[in-house]
């Protein structure tokens, strides 16, 4: 039986008087690829921020790797939804990805061969090895997104959290990001927030719909028979889980 | 005969101090100015510098070197503005404005309470690179060493909080503490630069060389190097012009820097315009 990586118990978050998350109970197990879909403002990003330790829950508890959220940065990788930065910030792709090693770096110790090797590896994984010396501001949206994934991978995380990694890129790039995640599947626990209700189901082992509260859908069940129509106020693609379960998701 | 030789040595002596002051202050402002520009904290730096006027007043009041008085005031302003903004979520504009005016008011009152005339007050406000005493040079050098040392130790962390503060936090960095440390280094840089350009104009030398350097740099360390060289060149050119035409040295240095800034912007405008045709 695999260890739960994330355990949320009756989690509730209020932000500025608005109930963003309410009564959320969720376990994510080692090797899971959990997809979180739901409308804007449904609390998806807030849930990731709670798991990262950037946002304190108002009620309930969250344990990540059995401890406080944010207490084990070495084991956690994070891909933000968008990155706001000056286009002329003097930083190369290699330098950006090297920042992923910060969580593993000891203070006052310079980066070493081990770090550079991890950066090479991460750049190869996302297919950006030829753009290592390119300035970050000169990247296209899809390249930047892959660079951010590489930054998270460079830290060699056991848990990868992605916040709408395909939100700002074109369909061709989307499928390349999904192909990339497919190669990572099983080697680490992945939690991904997404709007791509159609494509996401081909890849994830479990999917949840988050709109303040939670609907969990195991593989094999169809969302059509669930209240997803109530959650989204626009038509939703049929979502059917028909992948064989990966070993890690047995619990 | 002997009088002209003596005059030559004297000229050499104060010129040497002036050039050394320009070099030392350029090192601090190239390195710290780079973070000021990429992290867009120019006006926090302006606030810290102006609050330091309270320290100058304190120095006069207590009869000690005003540079020594600046250190606690600029550090208090740096930490005060940083903590109010980060911990108490006070708008940084508001915190800067309050510290800025309160520091200057304290300075005015302390100088008013000091019996007699405050000599050299103008040089602390607007700088006078031609009259830097050797004792101040030693202090500037020590502060420079401290600034360079801390940046060498924390350069990756400072880069991380400048580029993506949230990711730095997720990586387990104490981003607020690092930010306060960076502000404290800005406070010390203000002390280093007061003799050259004065507290009122520190903000220009902290931002202009680094802002120009950004156009020609592909990494933070190279931006620091280019900014340091530019700052030194501006200071030397300003020093020479002020000596030849008998102008206020701090203001001349700033105007040289500003002229270079506008020329670079003009050149960028032209190259964009040419591409557009």
Q: How confident is the model at residue B53 (pLDDT cuts 50, 70, 90)?
A: very high
Residue B3, pLDDT score: 52
| A55/B199 Cα distance (integer angstroms) | 39
**Do residues B245 and B25 touch, judged by C-beta distance below 8 A?**
no
| A70/A55 Cα distance (integer angstroms) | 10
Contact B219 A80 (CB under 8 A): no
Rounded to an integer, the average pLDDT of A24-44 is: 86
Residue A182, pLDDT score: 87
**Tell me: the pLDDT tens digits for A132-150?**
999 999 998 888 989 999 9
| B176/B82 Cα distance (integer angstroms) | 8
- Here the ipTM equals 0.87
| CATH T-level topology, domain A4-89+159-249 | Rossmann fold (3.40.50)
Q: How confident is the model at residue A38 (pLDDT cuts 50, 70, 90)?
A: confident
Residue with more model confidence, B35 or A222: B35
Residue A16, pLDDT score: 84
A150: Cβ contacts below 8 Å, ≥ 6 apart? A93, A97, A100, A119, A122, A123, A125, A126, A128
Contact A83 B164 (CB under 8 A): yes
**Do residues B98 and B50 touch, judged by C-beta distance below 8 A?**
no
Chain B residues in contact with A131 by the CB 8 A cut-off are none
Rounded to an integer, the average pLDDT of B255-274 is: 94
Which letter, b or e, does each residue of A3-41 get, where b requires 16 or more Cβ atoms within 10 Å of its Cβ? ebbbbbeebbbeeeeeebbbebebebbbbbbbbbbbbee
CATH superfamily of B2-276: ABC transporter involved in vitamin B12 uptake, BtuC (1.10.3470.10)
Residue with more model confidence, A181 or A241: A181
Query: Picking from A186-190, A226-230, B17-21, B169-173, which range would have the lowest pLDDT averaged per residue?
Result: A226-230
Percent of chain A with pLDDT over 70: 83
Residue B267, pLDDT score: 93
Q: How confident is the model at residue A174 (pLDDT cuts 50, 70, 90)?
A: confident
- Checking if the pLDDT of A1 tops 50, the result is no
**Tell me: the pLDDT tens digits for B147-183?**
999 999 999 999 999 999 999 999 999 999 999 999 9
Q: How confident is the model at residue B276 (pLDDT cuts 50, 70, 90)?
A: confident
Dihedrals phi, psi of A104, to nearest 5 degrees: -105, -5
Q: How confident is the model at residue A207 (pLDDT cuts 50, 70, 90)?
A: confident
- Checking if the pLDDT of A73 tops 50, the result is yes
Q: How confident is the model at residue A233 (pLDDT cuts 50, 70, 90)?
A: very low
| B221/B103 Cα distance (integer angstroms) | 33
Residue A251, pLDDT score: 33
Q: How confident is the model at residue A215 (pLDDT cuts 50, 70, 90)?
A: low
- Return the structure tokens found at B143: 């502060």
Q: How confident is the model at residue A217 (pLDDT cuts 50, 70, 90)?
A: low
Chain B: nearest CA to A47, how far in angstroms? 14
A226: Cβ contacts below 8 Å, ≥ 6 apart? A209, A215, A217
**Tell me: the pLDDT tens digits for A101-142?**
998 877 777 889 999 999 999 999 999 999 999 999 999 888
Contact A102 B168 (CB under 8 A): yes
Rounded to an integer, the average pLDDT of B16-29 is: 94
Residue A222, pLDDT score: 45
Beta bridge partners of B13: none
- Checking if the pLDDT of A244 tops 50, the result is no
Residues 30-69 of B with CB under 8 A from A: 38
The average confidence (pLDDT) of chain A is 81
B230: Cβ contacts below 8 Å, ≥ 6 apart? B30, B209, B212, B213, B260
Residue with more model confidence, B35 or A45: B35
- Checking if the pLDDT of B1 tops 80, the result is no
Residue among B94, B99, B45, B107 nearest B76 (CA): B99
In three-state secondary structure terms, B15 is helix
Residue A179, pLDDT score: 85
The average confidence (pLDDT) of chain B is 92
Residue A245, pLDDT score: 39
Query: Picking from A20-34, B184-198, B234-248, which range would have the lowest pLDDT averaged per residue?
Result: A20-34
CB-based contact, B164 to chain A, within 8 Å: yes
**Tell me: the pLDDT tens digits for B98-132?**
999 999 999 999 999 998 877 788 899 999 998 89
Q: How confident is the model at residue A216 (pLDDT cuts 50, 70, 90)?
A: low
- Which conformational region is residue B117 in: left (phi greater than 0), alpha (psi within -120 to 50 degrees), or beta? beta
**Tell me: the pLDDT tens digits for B68-86?**
999 999 999 999 999 999 9
Laid out side by side, the sheet with A4-15 consists of A18-29, A4-15, A59-64
Give kind and range of the element (H or E) at residue B5: helix B2-38
- Checking if the pLDDT of B214 tops 90, the result is yes
Chain B: nearest CA to A201, how far in angstroms? 28
Taking only Cα atoms into account, the Rg of chain A, rounded to an integer number of angstroms, comes to 18
Residue A165, pLDDT score: 86
Residue A25, pLDDT score: 87
Size of interface A-B (CB pairs under 8 A): 67
| A238/B10 Cα distance (integer angstroms) | 88
**Do residues A208 and A215 touch, judged by C-beta distance below 8 A?**
yes
Q: Where are the domains of chain A?
A: 4-89+159-249
Chain B residues in contact with A103 by the CB 8 A cut-off are 170-172
**Do residues A92 and B219 touch, judged by C-beta distance below 8 A?**
yes
Q: Which of B170, B212, B218 to mutate to test the interface with A (most CBs of A within 10 A)?
A: B170
Rounded to an integer, the average pLDDT of A208-234 is: 55
């Amino acid at each position: 039986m695999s260890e739960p990586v994330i355990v949320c118990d009756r989690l509730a978050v209020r932000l500025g008087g608005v109930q963003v998350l309410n009564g959320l109970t969720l376990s994510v197990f080692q090797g899971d690829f959990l997809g979180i879909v739901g409308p804007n403002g449904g609390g998806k990003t807030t849930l990731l921020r709670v798991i990262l330790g950037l946002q304190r829950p108002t009620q309930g508890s969250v344990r990540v790797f059995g401890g406080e959220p944010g207490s084990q940065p070495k084991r956690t990788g994070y891909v933000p939804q968008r990155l706001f930065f000056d286009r002329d910030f003097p930083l190369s792709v290699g330098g950006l990805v090297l920042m992923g090693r910060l969580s593993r770096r000891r203070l006052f110790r310079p980066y070493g061969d081990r770090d550079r090797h991890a950066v090479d590896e991460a750049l190869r994984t996302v297919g950006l090895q030829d753009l290592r010396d390119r300035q970050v501001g000169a990247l296209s949206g899809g390249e930047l997104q892959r660079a951010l994934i590489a930054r998270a991978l460079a830290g060699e995380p056991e848990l990868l959290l992605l916040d709408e990694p395909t939100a700002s890129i074109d369909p061709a790039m989307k499928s390349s990001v999904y192909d990339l995640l497919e190669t990572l599947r099983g080697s680490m626990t992945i939690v991904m927030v997404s709007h791509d209700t159609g494509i996401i189901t081909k890849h994830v082992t479990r999917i949840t719909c988050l709109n303040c509260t939670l609907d969990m859908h195991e593989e094999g069940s169809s969302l059509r028979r669930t209240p997803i129509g109530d959650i989204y106020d626009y038509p939703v693609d049929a979502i059917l889980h028909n992948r064989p379960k990966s070993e890690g998701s047995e619990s | 005969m002997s009088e002209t030789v003596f005059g030559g040595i004297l000229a050499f002596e104060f010129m040497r101090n002036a050039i050394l002051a320009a070099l030392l202050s350029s090192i601090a402002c190239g390195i710290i100015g780079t973070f000021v520009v990429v992290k867009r904290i120019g006006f926090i730096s302006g606030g810290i510098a102006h609050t330091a006027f309270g320290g100058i007043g304190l120095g006069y009041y207590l009869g000690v070197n005003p540079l020594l008085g600046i250190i606690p005031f600029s550090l208090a302003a740096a930490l005060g503005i940083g903590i109010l903004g980060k911990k108490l979520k006070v708008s940084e504009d508001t915190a800067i404005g309050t510290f800025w005016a309160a520091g200057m008011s304290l300075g005015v009152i302390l100088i008013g309470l000091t019996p007699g005339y405050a000599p050299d007050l103008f040089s602390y406000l607007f700088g006078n690179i031609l009259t830097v005493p050797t004792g101040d040079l030693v202090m500037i050098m020590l502060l420079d060493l401290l600034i360079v040392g801390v940046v060498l130790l924390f350069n990756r962390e400072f880069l991380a909080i400048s580029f993506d503060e949230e990711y730095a936090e997720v990586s387990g960095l104490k981003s607020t503490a690092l930010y306060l440390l960076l502000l404290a280094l800005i406070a010390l840089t203000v002390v280093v630069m007061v003799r050259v350009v004065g507290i009122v104009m520190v903000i220009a030398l902290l931002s202009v060389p680094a802002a120009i350097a950004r156009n020609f740099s592909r990494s933070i360390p190279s931006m620091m190097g280019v900014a340091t060289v530019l700052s030194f060149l501006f200071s030397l050119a300003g020093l020479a012009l002020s000596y030849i035409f008998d102008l206020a040295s701090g203001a001349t240095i700033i105007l040289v820097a500003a002229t270079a800034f506008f020329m670079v912007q003009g050149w960028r405008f032209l190259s964009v315009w040419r591409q557009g045709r």
